[in-house]
Amino acid sequence: MPLDKIWVVVEPAGGGAATNGLELLRGARQLAATVEAVTFGDANGAAATLGDHGASTVLTVDTPNAMAGVPVAAAIVAALAASPAPPAAILLPQTYEGRDIAGRLSVALDAPVLANAVGLAEVDGRLVAEHAVFGGSTIVKAAFTTDKVQLFLVRPKSFAAEGGAGAAGTVEALPIPDTGRSGATTVVARHAEERQGPKLDEAAVVVSGGRGLGDKERYGMIEELARLLKGAPGASRAIVDAGWVPYSYQVGQTGKTVKPNVYLAVGISGATQHMVGMKGAKKIIAINKDKEAPIFAIADLGIVGDVNKILPKLIDALKSRS
C-alpha cells in the first residue's frame, strides 16, 4: 500500500520550479497518497505549476539572504516536530542545494540519507531505493531499517515530469526558527555561465564531443552542430578534465544525466561512466573511427569514420537546408 505522505523539496528556477523537482513530484505521486512540495524563495509563481504536478500543498520557506541550506533545513525540522502527521519520507534532488539541505537534515534529525538514487519503489510501507554501481552496469537496492523519516537524494531524470494532476490547494509558510550564527551567511555574488539554446539536461537534442575531436579548437564544430539542431552541446569527462570546456558541459556519472530524443556522441569511445549519463536517450547516434568503440554497443546508428571529416559535411548539409 502507498505511503501516507511524502514531502518533495523543489528548488526555484527562473520564477518557477526546477525541472528536477517536478520529476520528483511525479515519482512521489506513484508512491504516496498525499504529496506536498517544500520550496523556497518566491514560490507564489510556482504554486500553480507545483499543484499541476501533484503537490496538494505548497510549503514555502522565505530565504531573504539567498542561502537555502540553513533556513530550509531548519524550517523542515521545526515543521516535522510540530506536525501531527509528518511525512514518511522526504525526497530531494541530487544537486548542490539538495545535498546541502539533506546533510543538515541528517544531522538535525539523526537520520541517515540514501543518496544518488536512480529509482524508488514502495515495499511494505517503506521506500526501496535503486542505485547504479560499477559505472551503471549493476543496480543495487537499499532501504532504511529505522522508523525515522526517510531521506532520499535522487538523481535527475530518474522520473519523467508530468503535469495534469490538478491545482495546488493551499500555500503555507514554514517559519524559520533561530539558526544562530549559521544563518548569518549571505550570498554576495552569483556567477551564471553564458549559454545559448536549451539547457543541457532539458534539451531534446544533445551533441556531445570527446577526445576523438583531437584538440580544443575543434569543439566549435560540436557547438555549431548543436545550434543547427536546436540542441545543447555536451562533453565527455576527458575533455572537461583537459580544460577544453567547462564542467557544466559534462555528461556522465559525475556530470549531468540527460535523456534527450536524440543523443549524438562524437569522438566518444563510450566508457561506462559516460554511458550512465546518456544511455536513457531515445535514439543514440555515434561517430567514431574505432569500430570496436564501446559506444557502438548501445548506439541505434553507428558511423565509423573520422569525425573531423564527417562533421564539416554534416554541418554544411544542415546549413544548405536552412
pLDDT for res 66: 66
pLDDT, tens digit (0-9, with 9 covering 90-100), for 85-98: 999 999 999 998 99
Q: Is the pLDDT of residue 285 over 80?
A: yes
The more confident residue out of 165 and 22 is 22
Q: Is the pLDDT of residue 137 over 80?
A: no
Domains 3-184 and 200-321 share a fold: yes
- Return the biggest CA–CA distance within the chain: 66
10 Å CB burial of residue 179 (0-12, 13-18, 19+) is middle
Mean pLDDT of 298-317: 95
Mean pLDDT of 48-62: 90
Q: Is the pLDDT of residue 231 over 90?
A: yes
d(CA 24, CA 161): 8
Contacts 24+ apart (CB under 8 A), 38-43: 38/7, 38/8, 38/9, 38/10, 38/72, 38/76, 38/90, 38/174, 39/9, 39/10, 39/11, 39/12, 40/11, 40/12, 40/68, 40/71, 40/72, 41/12, 41/68, 42/12, 42/15, 43/12, 43/171
Phi-psi region of 226 (alpha: psi -120 to 50; beta: other; left: phi over 0): alpha
Mean of the per-residue pLDDT values of the chain = 90
pLDDT, tens digit (0-9, with 9 covering 90-100), for 142-198: 999 988 999 999 999 899 888 877 776 688 889 999 888 887 777 787 776 666 778
Percentage of the chain exceeding pLDDT 90: 66
Q: What is the CATH number of domain 3-184?
A: 3.40.50.620
pTM summary value: 0.84
Domain regions of the chain by residue span = 3-184, 200-321
For the ranges 50-54, 112-116, 251-255, the maximum mean pLDDT occurs at 112-116
Mean pLDDT of 194-223: 91
d(CA 225, CA 216): 16
Does domain 200-321 fall under CATH 3.40.50.1220? My reply is yes
